[in-house]
Amino acid sequence: MSTDSYQEVAKAGRTLMLKEPFYGLFLIGLNKELSKGIQTACIAKDGINLKLVVNPEYFEKQDTSTRVAILKHEMLHVAFQHLNMFDDFSDKKLLNVAADLEINQYISNEMKGETWEGLDIKDGEFMGVKLPLKAGTRVYYDLLQKELDEYDKNNESSDKGDGDNDGDGQGDGNGMGSGDQSFAEWFRQGGNDGEHTLWEEFENLSEAEKKLIQKQIDHQLKEVASQTQRNRGTIPGELSEYIDKLFEKHEAVIDWKQYLRRFGTRSMKIETKKTRKKPNIRFGAGPAIKIKPKRSTLVAIDTSGSVSEQDLIEFFNEIDCIHKTGTAVTIMECDSYVHRTYQYAGKTDVLRVSGRGGTSFDPVMEEIFKAPGKYQNLIYLTDGFAPAPQRVPMIPILWVINSSARINDELPGAQIQIKR
């Protein structure tokens, strides 16, 4: 995708920061991706992180104000916990409509420009269905479902569907019916529910993964709230009660050590080896073949001097745990150059790490390109104070930011920060 498209998204993000600092700061914490594989914009899963996905052609057609509204709309979906609601609602497409009707009330009419095509409650109604203002997704879902039930009852001979939608309806762009079309007619005829086609990824997560993602969201909400208040900004009223409850919790919101271990052990490749044993019926291996799962992780250590000795000690404690699961761990010590590469075999003397110069992420990336398929993922311990790499390999990347630094929004992949 063109650099201009990224710049347009970034420009709208800066405007959101000026108009509503809380949501602007929240946006900074998400990875961004441009894709023509979706119609508009949406929140998607990025490993065990979140990312904002935007169709560049769609975004460029919007006026300046609407672009900002679109970004806030997506941040509201995350902040209002909509990504974790799938298990509570049988009709995913109707859930998408109800969720949009809830959050679009928190986007001002001034921000909704001339090209805005979102679903809105106007004068207490949505396409003829009376809906109370700011009542919540569950209320809207139930009221709209009641309308659909009445419609289906009166049109049993119709072949317009039985309400068991999967959330992938496409519609005509803005999804609004024309003329005097009722909500039920519009919905049953494939009315657009906004761009949520990637949400189903969250539905297939394990409970542990869902909890981890929710902890990350809560952690970011707290961080953004704290920074907003330090800058004398205000917390949005629609989120103030939930954020207050987050600050009442005394336990850590996200366990960076747990995150790191899960990332380091999740990638796997299959190694085959000749053997005299009988065929493996369970895995379909033929005679003289042994199938063995194997993990291989590259761990890059930024030795530029900004990563403290204590952070190195804590980081290597977690790397040691990953190594003990059977993962092959390769250590690459680097700053603006790669100084030393070796196979991790146990506890490392962190006082002997090489380097302590400036920082560049490109040398490590180039080493990965030189050995395609050798590593299943990359874990990079750094302060993040360097430009994003010019070339990025197609493997999962986790940036572990040291305790005294800040998240760098320009880096590709997922990020966590060491907390003490």
Q: 172 pLDDT exceeds 80?
A: no
| Confidence at residue 335, expressed as pLDDT on a 0 to 100 scale | 87
Q: Using a pLDDT cut of 90, give the percent of the chain over it.
A: 34
Q: Calculate mean pLDDT across residues 345-358.
A: 61
pLDDT of residue 275: 53
- Mapped onto helix, strand or coil, the DSSP state of residue 62 is coil
Q: Give the CA distances from residue 162 to residues 151, 298, 406, in Å, rounded to whole numbers and listed in that order.
A: 11, 50, 50
Does 237 have pLDDT greater than 70? yes
Whether residues 77 and 133 fall in one domain: yes
Same domain, 348 and 217: no
Q: Are residues 234 and 308 in the same domain?
A: no
237 and 262 inside one domain: no
Q: Which of 215, 247, 279 is the last residue of a domain?
A: 247
Give yes or no for residue 276 having a pLDDT over 80: no
pLDDT of 11 strictly over 60: yes
The pLDDT value recorded for residue 250 is 40
Of 146-160, 259-273, 350-364, which gets the smallest average pLDDT?
Answer: 259-273
Same domain, 221 and 273: no
Q: Where residue 301 sits, what CATH number does that domain have?
A: 3.40.50
Locate tokens 């859930």: which residue? 95
The residue from 247, 282, 297 where one domain ends is 247
Quickly state the pLDDT bin for 396 (edges 50, 70, 90): confident
Does 332 have pLDDT greater than 60? yes
pTM: 0.57
pLDDT at 152 over 60: yes
How many percent of the chain have pLDDT more than 70?
78
Look at residue 370 in the predicted model and tell me its pLDDT.
94
Whether the per-residue pLDDT at 71 is higher than 70: the answer is yes
- Please state, rounded to an integer, the average pLDDT across all residues of the chain: 80
Answer with the residue of higher pLDDT: 339 or 198. Answer: 339
Segment 127-142, tens digit of pLDDT: 999 999 999 999 999 9
200 and 330 inside one domain? no
State residue 41's pLDDT score.
Answer: 93
Based on the domain organization, do 19 and 163 belong to the same domain?
Answer: yes
Domain that residue 236 falls in? 3-247
- Give the residue-averaged pLDDT of 222-233: 77
Most confident residue range from 118-122, 228-232, 269-273: 118-122
Q: Give residues with Cβ within 8 angstroms of 200, minimum separation 6.
A: 86, 92, 166, 167, 168
How far apart (Å, rounded) are the C-alpha atoms in residues 311 and 190?
A: 53
Paired sense of beta strands 328-334 and 296-302, if any: parallel
Q: Are residues 291 and 229 in the same domain?
A: no
Stretch 358-376: mean pLDDT: 91
- Are 366 and 230 contained in the same domain? no
> What pLDDT score was predicted for residue 365?
95
Query: Which letter, b or e, does each residue of 29-54 get, where b requires 16 or more Cβ atoms within 10 Å of its Cβ?
Result: bbbbbbeeebbbbbbbbbbbbbbbbb
Of 226, 247, 268, the residue that ends a domain is 247
- 223 with 275, same domain: the answer is no
Structure confidence at residue 331 (pLDDT): 93
Report helix, strand or coil for 312.
Answer: helix
Q: Cα 299–393–26 angle (5° rounding)? A: 80
- Evaluate if residue 322 carries a pLDDT over 90: no
* 179 and 260 share one domain: no
**What's the structural domain count of the chain?**
2
Q: Note whether 233 and 264 are same-domain residues.
A: no
